Amino acid sequence: MSHHPGGHHPSGIDMAARSRARRRALQALYAWQMSGSSMNAVIEQFRHEQDMEVADLDYFEDLLLGVDKHLAELDALLQPHVDREVAQIDPIERAALRLGAYELKFRPDVPYRVILNEAIEVTKRFGADHGHSYVNGVLDKLAGELRAVEKQPR
């Protein structure tokens, strides 16, 4: 297993594995939104994929269980910053927004810039052409609200 330079974080967090966890979490969240099955069933289904060996499984589960548990609160946080009902947003963008909102609110250990960059990357990878700029705009506003202290110029 090769690591590109800079893949490791000073605190021992493997950023590449965490990026993979976010990509898989986006796909799992999308599947969950479309299927209506329980989050645990979706997590089980994804856990057995070979690709998961190189992802940060704990982070993957934390993201999905966190979104599931706090869904109403996350959607309420997103609602003032979106131009339609959260339920009507494109499913990939909706999944990316929910993941980003969860991290902004409940994972203060993760810098907001990392959260926004990762949300943009996963949306570029799986979403529609301009989805990433929409996701970026919404999460940037939410970061201004939830991470105001961090966003202030030093």
pLDDT at residue 1 is higher than 50: no
Whole-model pTM over 0.75: yes
Q: Which superfamily is assigned to 15-148 in CATH?
A: NusB-like (1.10.940.10)
Average pLDDT over residues 76-100: 96
- Calculate the CA dihedral of residues 43, 31, 110, 70 and round it to 10 degrees: -80
Q: How far is CA 84 from CA 2, 80, 89, 128, 144, in A?
A: 43, 9, 7, 17, 20
Q: What is the mean pLDDT of the chain?
A: 89
Residue position matching structure tokens 């297993």: 1
Assign 6 a pLDDT band (cuts: 50, 70, 90): very low
The confidence score (pLDDT) of residue 12 equals 74
The confidence score (pLDDT) of residue 30 equals 96
pLDDT at residue 141 is higher than 90: yes
- What one-letter code names the amino acid at 46? F
CA distance 11 to 23: 22
pLDDT at residue 9 is higher than 90: no
Residue 67 and residue 102 in contact, taking contact as beta carbons nearer than 8 Å: yes
- Coil, strand or helix at 14: strand
- Coil, strand or helix at 51: helix
The burial of 104, by beta-carbon neighbours within 10 Å (0-12 exposed, 13-18 middle, 19 or more buried), is given as: buried
User: Within 13 A of 91's CA, how many CA atoms are on the CB side?
Assistant: 10
Average pLDDT over residues 17-24: 93
